[in-house]
Amino acid sequence: MPYSVPKLTDFSSAALDAAAGELLFALEQESSAVSSENDWKNFRDRWMARKNGVLTQVNDLWLKAAPKDAKREVGQRVNELKAKVERSVDATLARIQGGPSSARLADERVDVTLPGIRRPLGAQHPVIKTMNEIIGVFRNLGYSVEEGPEIETDYYNFEALNFPPNHPARDTQDTLFIAGQDSKPLRDRLLLRTHTSPVQIRTMEKMKPPVRVICPGKVHRNDAPDATHSPIFHQVEGLAVDTNITFCDLKGTLDHAMKALFGSSVKTRFYPSFFPFTEPSADVQISCIFCGGTGTRDGGPCRNCKASGWIELLGCGMVDPNVYGFVDYDPKKVSGFAFGMGVERIAILKYGVDDIQLFFNGDVRFLEQFA
């Protein structure tokens, strides 16, 4: 016979004790008979359902029926019983879940000491790595980084950099032009930038002196690929414009940068050269890092510097005053220098790579050496 809540006629403490004892005994028995989640739901509903659950009946048959002077004591006891029933229902659920879930835990056990699945770690491409090294050197000198579009107009790539209209660089032999623009005026025609120098113009347009920026980026030339040429390569250019900047500042800056990149024993020398946007212009050579500048290696002439002891590495010069005219700087008040270097060229020297194409072929065996 399942337990049913009796009507009470005697509300003395002793009678209440007896009734409560009987109820708790039934509660315990029914709890211990629960062995599945379904059982437990039935058990919970039988005792706690708002409509006709045991607790509701206790409320109706005992508390509501109690005479006025017993109400306080009956109320207290009913509250105690309610708390006990709730605890029992919770504990019963915990007990049955403890059973199957420990089996599940055993099933799903993970040995955290087993080696995991390791994703191979990527590494910086040697060109990017070298570019970041160069940027780091100039960052330490107080330069900030500026970038610009790779598709440029003729104006930014040539005109504002003081290239005369018939300069050979404007020929399609050297420059990759975007097709179908013949209807546009020359200065608006689009091309793949041949150097990062347009970024210098764009920077000066939006910034007043003092300016100290480096412009790293990808550039394109209409060159057939071979061991030393690639239609795509990277440059880092630098620009410093301020009052009283002299060629001495340029020499000191680049000498420091070359020592920072290739080691403190490297020497630099400057040779007169020509660029449309600098005057005077110079090519910078560093003492050969393979033969220490002696021109001989392993008893013969050094291959890397063709026995000269020097390697040509970058171009530079004082910004041509004509360029300031394009960006609204006063050439009487400011002066400055600019320089540019090929990133692949420096990476080739630093890492002893003998073919520029290796940087772009995407051969993992080559790239892995730099990881």
Chain residues that interact with Zn ion, rule: CB under 5 A = 288, 290-291, 302, 304-305
Q: Between 25 and 271, name the residue whose CB sits nearer to Zn ion.
A: 271
**Count of CB atoms within 10 A of residue 202's CB?**
19
CB 267 within 8 A of CB 287: yes
The DSSP 8-state label assigned to residue 267 in this structure reads: -
Smallest separation, CB 230 to Zn ion (Å): 24
Q: Between 222 and 304, name the residue whose CB sits nearer to Zn ion.
A: 304
Helix (H, G, I), strand (E, B) or coil at 143: coil
Q: Between 74 and 288, name the residue whose CB sits nearer to Zn ion.
A: 288
Q: 158: which 2 tokens?
A: 């040539």
Distance between CA atoms of residues 130 and 288, nearest Å:
19
Q: Where are the alpha helices (DSSP H) in the chain?
A: 13-33, 37-48, 54-58, 71-107, 126-139, 154-157, 197-206, 247-262, 321-327, 343-351, 364-367
Smallest separation, CB 368 to Zn ion (Å): 28
Q: Between 219 and 286, name the residue whose CB sits nearer to Zn ion.
A: 286
Q: Between 62 and 310, name the residue whose CB sits nearer to Zn ion.
A: 310
Smallest separation, CB 351 to Zn ion (Å): 16
Backbone angles phi, psi at 281, to 5 degrees: -120, 155
Distance between CA atoms of residues 344 and 356, nearest Å:
7
Q: Between 122 and 300, name the residue whose CB sits nearer to Zn ion.
A: 300
Smallest separation, CB 314 to Zn ion (Å): 18
Smallest separation, CB 251 to Zn ion (Å): 22
Smallest separation, CB 197 to Zn ion (Å): 30
